[in-house]
């Protein structure tokens, strides 16, 4: 047994130990039982695809200069998998795709389209109305016998029959409440359709609010009492609520990404012991907490058009230039069309410890533990110049 064969044999043994290995994940050169290969249309002599969905880059000459070049090695390509959760059945669906190169350009396509075109029935690969689906609903099973040609409408009907999705008209029959932005119930309707007829607001816009895809429509929240409320916070998305930029600027202080220190925490839920007060002069728009977090309130933003902005915890920013170390943290605000910045430590001290002249730049705040990112009001003191 040669060196190359020995390496492949070891890799094969490792893969056998893993569970749920799909053919497209197998990057060994050895053909699988019953596997056949053919040229991928438009890439003759460059790439091949198998009847099981594996993609192979062929050995070929690649020029690298005027009179020089090299032969590429034949290899099985790594493919990309897109995963999406089906909210009706609570399981994930998968789509496998590949990226091939032609004349220096990268071309990406769903692998199942190539497999069906080559091994089942040829069709216009660029015609997006012609879709390839999976008999067993498993997008990782790329064997040509598992594929069939269809269209978007038929896919939707099949999903309804198998109870993998719910027709929109079922949602349109849901009772719905029209709620003011302050939480007061304006009216109740027996269905979304009745709400559309009586308010003149489009049914699809109301449904988008009920589903949680939008926060408000035409200045109202729309909530169905018979449907579980959609929590606005994505589960497991801790990175979204972690101020990565500021963490690096602060020298990467020790913290948890899931539950970071207050200055780095962008999560809308209150932290333990956190209290909020309206910021003086910005009462209708911003709040400050005793831990040093700043929150923008949900509101209509004035301008040429009234735009609804969702409430969120604002990202704090470091003061000073790139070459200067950070000495305090700032928050930016818009007041009467003008952008201003304010020291967060000064705001916390003013609202939770003792009132100071916020316009006086000579009034300075110190930090008992010497950590300028610890903005808990208990850590702050007034410096006497």
pTM of the model: 0.48
CA neighbor of 63 nearest in space, from 104, 95, 96, 93: 104
Q: How far is the C-alpha of 101 from the C-alpha of 47, rounded, in Å?
A: 9
Question: Where are the alpha helices (H) located in 266-315, listed in sequence order?
Answer: none
pLDDT given for residue 56 in this prediction: 96
pLDDT top residue among 91 and 325: 91
Here the tokens at position 170 are 């079922």
Q: What is the pLDDT of residues 105-146, one digit of tens each?
A: 999 999 999 999 999 999 999 998 999 999 999 999 999 999
* CATH of region 238-383, choose from 3.90.1520.10, 3.90.75.20, 3.20.20.140, 3.60.20.10: 3.90.75.20
Domain 3-123 class, CATH top level: alpha beta
Architecture of domain 168-223: Orthogonal Bundle (1.10)
Specify which of 123-127, 177-181, 231-235, 332-336 reaches the highest per-range mean pLDDT.
Answer: 123-127
Q: How far is the C-alpha of 141 from the C-alpha of 133, rounded, in Å?
A: 10
Q: Which phi and psi (to 5°) does residue 57 adopt?
A: -90, 125
29 contacts 44 by C-beta, under 8 angstroms: no
Domain ranges for the chain, please list them.
Answer: 3-123, 168-223, 238-383
Say what angle helices 192-199 and 203-211 make with each other, to 10 degrees. Answer: 130
User: 279 pLDDT exceeds 70?
Assistant: yes
Here the tokens at position 302 are 């004035």
CA neighbor of 293 nearest in space, from 311, 320, 307: 311
Here the tokens at position 153 are 């409408």
Q: Which phi and psi (to 5°) does residue 336 adopt?
A: 55, 45
Q: How far is the C-alpha of 216 from the C-alpha of 147, rounded, in Å?
A: 41
pLDDT given for residue 227 in this prediction: 66
Q: Do domains 3-123 and 238-383 have the same CATH topology?
A: yes
User: 234 pLDDT exceeds 50?
Assistant: no
């Amino acid at each position: 047994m040669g060196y190359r064969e020995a390496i492949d044999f070891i890799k094969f043994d490792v893969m056998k130990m893993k569970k749920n290995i799909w053919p497209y994940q197998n990057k060994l050169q050895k053909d699988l039982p019953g596997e056949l290969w053919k040229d991928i249309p438009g890439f003759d002599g460059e790439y091949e695809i198998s009847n099981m969905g594996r993609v192979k880059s062929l050995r070929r000459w690649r020029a690298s200069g005027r009179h020089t070049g090299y032969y590429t090695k034949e290899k099985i390509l790594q493919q990309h998998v897109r995963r999406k959760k089906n909210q009706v059945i609570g399981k994930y669906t998968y789509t496998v795709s590949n990226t091939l190169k032609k004349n220096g350009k990268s071309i990406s396509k769903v692998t199942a389209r190539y497999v069906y075109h080559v091994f089942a029935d040829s069709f216009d690969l660029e015609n997006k109305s012609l879709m390839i689906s999976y008999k067993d609903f498993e997008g990782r099973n790329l064997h040509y016998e598992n594929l069939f040609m269809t269209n978007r409408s038929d896919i939707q009907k099949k999903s309804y029959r198998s109870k993998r999705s719910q027709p929109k008209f079922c949602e349109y029959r849901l009772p719905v409440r029209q709620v003011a932005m302050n939480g007061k119930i304006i009216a109740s309707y027996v269905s979304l359709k009745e709400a559309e007829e009586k308010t003149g607001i489009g049914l699809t816009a109301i449904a988008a609010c009920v589903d949680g895809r939008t926060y408000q429509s035409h200045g109202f929240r729309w909530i169905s009492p018979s449907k579980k409320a959609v929590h606005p916070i994505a589960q497991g998305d801790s990175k979204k609520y972690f101020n990565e930029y500021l963490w690096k600027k602060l020298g990467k202080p020790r913290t948890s990404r899931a539950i970071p220190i207050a200055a780095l925490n962008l999560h809308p839920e209150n932290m333990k012991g956190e209290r909020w007060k309206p910021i003086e002069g910005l009462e209708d728009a911003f709040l400050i907490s005793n831990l040093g977090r700043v929150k923008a309130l949900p509101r209509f933003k004035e301008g040429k058009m009234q735009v609804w902005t969702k409430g969120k915890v604002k990202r704090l920013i470091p003061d000073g230039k790139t070459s200067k170390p950070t000495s305090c943290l700032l928050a930016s605000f818009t007041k009467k069309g003008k952008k201003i910045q304010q020291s967060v430590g000064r705001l916390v001290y003013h609202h939770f410890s003792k009132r100071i002249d916020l316009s006086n730049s000579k009034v300075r705040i110190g930090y008992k533990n010497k950590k300028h990112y610890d903005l808990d009001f208990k850590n702050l003191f007034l410096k006497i110049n």
